[in-house]
Structure 1
Amino acid sequence: MALDLTEEGTSRFAQTKRWRIHYNEAGEGHPIIMLHGSGPGATGWSNFGPNLKVLAEKYRVLAVDMPGWGKSDPVSAEERDHVAAAVDLMDELGIEKAAFVGNSMGGMTALRFACEHPDRMSHLITMGPGSGGPSIFSAGDGPSEGLKILVEGYRNPTPETMRKLVDIMSYSAGDAGEEVVRQRADAAAANPEHLANFLAGLDRMRPFIDMDALSRCQIPALLVHGRDDRVVHFEHSLKLVTVIPNSRLVLFNRCGHWAQLEHADEFNRLVDDFITHN
């Protein structure tokens, strides 16, 4: 059963040594740090609100706005370092070790964190991250259909564009889609500096995943991907599951880029079972 939580009621700020970071927090127990994906108006709450409400019954859950998104400090592309931001936040809050749940860009941050700070991560859970390298099954090596709409959203962050974004990010957003459209449009309008910084650094964004380091990673890993993901093809998680030794892959049919929202009940059960038994 989901707790009766709101964005406002769970809203927190931490002044770390480098950035002022916003996050939503609820619950007690083993910490789970949730890292949102990219996109105009993306926030920890818009990416993970329904999951936080359920998992907070058993865990201490933090849905973080990374610097450059949401209510956290703006940063340029050169300054952006989400792994460092996560370490700083954990240090400031006194969290020695946590499970990480990362969607898309947040999943890539979690993968990098696992390589660079394995002693600070208990479990690695990703949904729809890129893996780097050439594409094998998907068409071409250029931006995907979803990434093109994502960039359009940064250039033209209207509710209409956000509706197109939500439509392409999900297999079927249903009634929840309009709420996500509103959340993202409001967050984008409230933080125009984030949008400008993202666009200014677009040509310099080349996230690197060290596959050799991942091949030595012993952290238990749960990789989740949507079969119908039009943003990041599921082949990326197929690559990752062949490389990460202690990993398993769950592939959802009728699911796009937001498995945690589109299949929230099953996703929450998977995360709980994985953390409990690994």
Structure 2
Amino acid sequence: MPQTLTAEGTSRTVQTKNWKIHYNEAGEGHPIVMLHGSGPGATGWSNFGPNMKVLSDRFRVIAVDTPGWGASDAVTPDERDPVEAALQLLDALGIDKAAFVGNSMGGMTSIAFAVRHPDRISHLITMGAGSPGPAYFGASDGPSEGLKVLLKGYRDPSPETMRELVEIMTYDAAFVTDELIAQRSDAARKRPDHLANFLASGLTGVRSVQAPLERIAAIQTPTLVFHGRDDRVVHYESALRLVTLIPDSRLVLINRCGHWLQLEHADEFNRLVGDFVATR
């Protein structure tokens, strides 16, 4: 049965070499580090709270607020390095090797982590992650529909804009709840420094974490790629490219699913992630 966990009860903070990093932690066993996406108001808990409640029955689950988001330190565009932040977090927590689960920007960060620190990652799991290369089917002349709304949310983190954002991140309107909208809006407006720093670099800062094609093709970490067929933020062709490049990889492509697969198809996601980490 899923554990009764709360954001407050699982809240932790650690000082690394460069940053104070906030995270939520629960469970014991092999560590799973969860990295959220780049949206305004994103936090480890808002992206992965329901997943933590299930996966922490089997694993030590750590949902991170990447520096520049949530309750972690602010970072200027020049200071932003989510891969280094993840490495410093492992060091500060005394973790030698962990599975990484990343949504969107968090997936790109996890891929880059596997490229830069292959000895510190046991499993690579992405959902809705971007990949380098030409866009044949998705937006090729600028930001996608979803990314445009994401940027709008940084300029105007009101509940009205956050409703737009949550609607475009999901396929099923049942997941557009007042609670989630308020959670994202409140978290964004609480940290105007995060909003300003992101707008200073925008999507250029997100894309800067993307690893080059030839380095991705050299990844030896067992990899599980998730993507929603109806993702309006990152087209599923990115997932096809990843499984073409990474030798030891497999793809789960789910129809009637948007950018937040871990929320819309939580039961399947939790089961597949748990089995993958336990058996590979």
TM over 0.5: yes
Counterpart of 1:274 in structure 2 is 276
Report deviation, 1:140: 2.4
Contact 2:147-2:233 at 8 Å conserved across structures: yes
Mapped pair 1:209 → 2:211: yes
For 1:79 and 1:264, locate their aligned partners in 2 and report how far apart those are by CA, in whole Å. Answer: 34
Q: Aligned runs of 1:91-130 on 2, under 5 Å?
A: 91-130=91-130
For 2:202 and 2:226, locate their aligned partners in 1 and report how far apart those are by CA, in whole Å. Answer: 27
Contact 1:77-1:204 at 8 Å conserved across structures: no
Counterpart of 1:230 in structure 2 is 232
For 2:176 and 2:164, locate their aligned partners in 1 and report how far apart those are by CA, in whole Å. Answer: 14
- TM-score normalised per structure 1: 0.98
For 1:169 and 1:41, locate their aligned partners in 2 and report how far apart those are by CA, in whole Å. Answer: 14
Contact 2:167-2:176 at 8 Å conserved across structures: no
CA distances 1:149-194 after superposition (whole Å, capped 9, x unpaired): 0000000000010000000000014156322211111101111110
Deviation >4 Å, runs of 4+: none
Q: Aligned runs of 1:94-243 on 2, under 5 Å?
A: 94-175=94-175, 177-202=177-202, 204-205=204-205, 206-207=207-208, 208-243=210-245
Mapped pair 1:59 → 2:40: no
Cα RMSD, aligned residues only: 1.1
Deviates more, 1:211-220 or 1:186-195: 211-220
Local SS of the residue matching 2:270: helix
CA distances 1:104-157 after superposition (whole Å, capped 9, x unpaired): 000000000000000000000000011022201124231000000000000000
% identical equivalent positions:
66
Contact 1:166-1:173 at 8 Å conserved across structures: no
Cα gap change, 1:69/1:254 in structure 2, threshold over 3 Å: closer, same or farther?
same
- Letter in structure 1 aligned against 2:69: W
Local SS of the residue matching 1:8: coil
Deviates more, 1:31-40 or 1:204-213: 204-213
Contact 1:173-1:262 at 8 Å conserved across structures: no
- TM-score normalised per structure 2: 0.97
For 1:209 and 1:237, locate their aligned partners in 2 and report how far apart those are by CA, in whole Å. Answer: 14
CA distances 1:38-65 after superposition (whole Å, capped 9, x unpaired): 1110000000000001000010000000
For 2:98 and 2:46, locate their aligned partners in 1 and report how far apart those are by CA, in whole Å. Answer: 21
For 2:250 and 2:204, locate their aligned partners in 1 and report how far apart those are by CA, in whole Å. Answer: 32
Report deviation, 1:215: 1.3
- Letter in structure 1 aligned against 2:28: E
Number of equivalences: 278
Structure 2 residue runs without a partner (length 5+): none
